[in-house]
């Protein structure tokens, strides 16, 4: 998605990163909920809210990383995208989705006392 937006629509690599992250986010949420974590027991609204928080931070980290790779290292944007995406996915996205977005939540029970 990002490469198509940059090469065909002539957007900047940073904006292409944002567009690609948004499109990928929708697909990632659906795949995570249904297949990866099989987290169908919980209401989708809570998962969506947590996912939006985590994905918003991820989008910022990806765009910032892409900006620094291009500005500081003057490398080709595709190489920068691969490096930044790999780091953000392994250090932020996966741990947060597993432990926060799709974790099995225990309901709070009322204290009988």
Scanning the structure block, which residue is given the tokens 């809210």?
49
Task: Report whether pLDDT(109) > 70.
Answer: no
Which residues, other chains included, contact 23 with Cβ-Cβ below 8 Å and sequence gap of 6+?
A: 1
Q: Is the pLDDT of residue 32 over 80?
A: yes
Confidence of residue 107 (pLDDT cuts 50, 70, 90): low
User: What is the number of alpha carbons within 13 Å of residue 35 lying toward its C-beta?
Assistant: 5
- Rg from Cα positions in the chain: 17
Whether the predicted pLDDT of 76 surpasses 90: no
Per-domain residue ranges of the chain: 2-101
Percent of the chain at pLDDT exceeding 70 = 90
The answer to whether 21 touches 58, Cβ cutoff 8 Å, is yes
Is pLDDT at 9 greater than 90 in this prediction?
A: yes
pLDDT(53) > 60: yes
């Amino acid at each position: 998605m990002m490469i198509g937006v940059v090469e065909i629509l002539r957007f900047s690599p940073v904006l292409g990163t944002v567009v690609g992250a948004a499109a990928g986010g929708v697909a990632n949420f659906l795949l995570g909920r249904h297949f990866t974590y099989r987290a169908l027991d919980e209401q989708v609204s809570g998962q969506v809210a947590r996912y939006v928080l985590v994905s918003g931070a991820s989008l910022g980290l990806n765009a910032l990383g892409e900006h620094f790779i291009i500005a500081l290292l003057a490398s080709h944007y595709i190489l920068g995208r691969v490096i930044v995406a790999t780091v953000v996915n392994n250090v932020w996205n996966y741990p947060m989705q597993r432990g926060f977005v799709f974790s099995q939540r225990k309901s709070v029970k009322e204290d009988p006392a």
